[in-house]
């Protein structure tokens, strides 16, 4: 039986769980220099609460979970949550991290049952990395990538947000990195979800242009996509590594979207760009039964909108920023 189905026939199978809105970096396209007013600890879901909601969602058809934030590794004892989630019979349990502290957590996360990691890295140049994240931490992230591979958290996917005019001259350096380290490097189009409404379309480098530049230097072969937002490619010359593009702005994949998001303060969101969200924390803390929670979740999913309208005159950035939603 399909329970998490919306008006357009899309079925939700993938859940992003944000475990904190805090972060040790300050990526310019995501967070202001001084950080944000963080969600108070008592407003944040406990691991026990996250596991209760996850069980309800898995019973409704969720098959894969990705932990995110903010920076998820800032949440103490994250491996305990991973251990709990790993008992739910998921097909895939992963983590999106900026990687700064991954070197010291990779082994315990793998032991707890984490399958793999996505690591965000927007520059391979230490000076530019520090400019883009407002922190000098490139070496730590590179150590984190190595540690993740050694711990078997593979395939390691490296997520690189391309900002036109800022890091686009590093596309081929990232491709060489993918080939050298046998990682999947995925180039992500810059989306209007950061603080201060500073996004504009001039800062978006299209995936089509990124692929054109890569293919001219390293000819590519398309791989099958499934329900993945990334279009992935391997290399004609048989080199290790893969590259991908996530074209959220220029070629949105809303029609195939199978994703739900649970924020760290317990709200269910059916889209990154939604203007509404469903409070699950209040009923959960008031003692709602799994059946009552399931009903709330199914009603929210049924009302999922058709997609976002980035670039259209009617587009409005959601009030909740990316770091508070969980990217
Ligand atoms: N802190 C972790 C990290 O950076 O991987 C997890 C949370 S972060 C919000 C998740 C992903 O969202 C990262 O890959 C980040 O680069 C991406 N992201 C943040 N703001 C974005 C934006 N405005 N456009 C596109 N991607 C963005
Ligand atoms: Fe932190 Fe990730 Fe946002 Fe960068 S993108 S500021 S690492 S939450």
Q: For residue 218, give the 3-state DSSP assignment.
A: coil
- Tell me the mean pLDDT in the region 72-97: 98
pLDDT at 2 (0 to 100): 58
Q: For residue 272, give the 3-state DSSP assignment.
A: coil
- Tell me the mean pLDDT in the region 54-63: 98
171-to-63, 128, 129, 266, 282 alpha-carbon distances in Å = 33, 14, 14, 37, 45
Give the sheet arrangement for strand 116-120, strand by strand.
220-222, 230-235, 242-246, 184-189, 157-162, 116-120, 92-97, 64-68, 14-18, 259-262, 267-269, 278-279
The answer on pLDDT for 124 being more than 80 is yes
Mean confidence (pLDDT) of the chain? 94
- Tell me the mean pLDDT in the region 172-199: 91
What does the buried/exposed string (b/e) look like for 138-160 if buried means 16 or more CB atoms within 10 Å of the residue's CB? bebbbbbbebbbebebbebbbbb
- Tell me the mean pLDDT in the region 320-324: 85
Other beta carbons within 10 angstroms of residue 170's beta carbon come to 18
- Tell me the mean pLDDT in the region 258-266: 97
Q: What is the 3-state secondary structure (H, E, C) of 12-34?
A: CCEEEEECCCCCCCCCCCCCCCC
Other beta carbons within 10 angstroms of residue 311's beta carbon come to 12
pLDDT > 70: percent of the chain: 99
CB 161 within 8 A of CB 122: yes
pLDDT at 251 (0 to 100): 87
- Our answer on whether the CB atom of 25 is closer than 6 Å to any ligand 2 atom is yes
- Our answer on whether the CB atom of 73 is closer than 6 Å to any ligand 2 atom is no
Residue bearing the bigger pLDDT, 193 or 302:
302
pLDDT at 68 (0 to 100): 98
Q: Which ranges of 151-271 does DSSP label H, i.e. alpha helix?
A: 171-181, 207-217
How far, in Å, is the centroid of ligand 1 from the Cα of 246? 12
Pocket test for ligand 1, best of 96, 174, 318, 327 (most atoms within 8 A of CB): 327
How far, in Å, is the centroid of ligand 2 from the Cα of 38? 14
The answer on pLDDT for 227 being more than 80 is no
pLDDT at 268 (0 to 100): 98
Q: Whose CA is nearest to atom 4 of ligand 1?
A: 98
| Closest atom of ligand 1 to CA, residue 159 | 14
What is the pLDDT confidence band of residue 103, given thresholds at 50, 70 and 90? very high
How open is the CA angle 148-152-153, to the nearest 5 degrees? 55
**Domains located in the chain, CATH noted:** 14-325 (3.20.20.70)
pLDDT at 3 (0 to 100): 86
- Tell me the mean pLDDT in the region 128-150: 98
What is the pLDDT confidence band of residue 319, given thresholds at 50, 70 and 90? confident
pLDDT at 198 (0 to 100): 76
Summarize the chain as % helix, strand, coil (round to 5).
35, 20, 45
Q: Which ligand is nearest to the CA of 322?
A: 1
- Our answer on whether the CB atom of 119 is closer than 6 Å to any ligand 2 atom is no
| Closest atom of ligand 2 to CA, residue 71 | 8
- Our answer on whether the CB atom of 195 is closer than 6 Å to any ligand 1 atom is no
The answer on pLDDT for 1 being more than 60 is no
- Our answer on whether the CB atom of 128 is closer than 6 Å to any ligand 2 atom is no
In sequence order, the 6+-apart residues with CB closer than 8 A to the CB of 216 are none
Q: Which of 143-147, 198-202, 321-325 has the highest mean pLDDT?
A: 143-147
- Tell me the mean pLDDT in the region 300-304: 95
Other beta carbons within 10 angstroms of residue 31's beta carbon come to 24
């Amino acid at each position: 039986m399909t329970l998490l189905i919306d008006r357009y026939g899309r079925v939700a199978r993938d859940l992003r769980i944000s475990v904190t809105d805090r972060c040790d970096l300050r990526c310019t396209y995501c967070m202001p220099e001084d950080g944000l007013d963080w969600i108070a600890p008592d407003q944040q879901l406990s691991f026990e609460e996250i596991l209760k909601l996850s069980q309800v969602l898995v019973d409704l058809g969720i098959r894969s979970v990705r932990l995110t934030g903010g920076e998820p590794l800032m949440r103490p004892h994250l491996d305990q949550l991973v251990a709990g989630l790993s008992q739910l019979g998921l097909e895939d349990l992963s983590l999106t991290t900026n990687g700064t502290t991954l070197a010291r957590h990779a082994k315990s996360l793998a032991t707890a049952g984490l399958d793999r990691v996505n690591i965000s890295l927007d520059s391979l140049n230490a000076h530019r990395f520090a400019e883009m994240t407002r922190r000098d931490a490139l070496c730590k992230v590179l150590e984190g990538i190595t540690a993740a591979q050694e711990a078997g958290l593979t395939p390691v996917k490296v997520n690189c947000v391309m900002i036109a005019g800022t890091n686009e001259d590093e596309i081929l350096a990232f491709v060489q990195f993918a080939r050298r380290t046998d990682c999947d490097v995925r180039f992500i189009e810059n989306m209007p979800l950061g603080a201060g409404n500073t996004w504009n379309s001039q800062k978006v480098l299209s995936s089509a242009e990124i692929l054109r530049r890569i293919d001219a230097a390293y000819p590519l072969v398309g791989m099958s996509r499934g329900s993945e937002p990334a279009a992935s490619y391997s290399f004609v010359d048989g080199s290790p590594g893969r590259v991908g593009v996530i074209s959220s702005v220029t070629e949105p994949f809303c029609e195939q979207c199978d994703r739900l998001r649970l924020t760290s303060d317990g709200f269910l969101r059916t889209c990154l760009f939604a203007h509404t969200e469903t409070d699950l924390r209040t009923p959960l803390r008031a003692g709602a039964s799994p059946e009552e929670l399931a009903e709330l979740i199914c009603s929210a999913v049924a009302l999922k909108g058709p997609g976002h309208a980035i670039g259209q005159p009617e587009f409005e950035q959601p009030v909740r920023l990316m770091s508070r939603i969980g990217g």
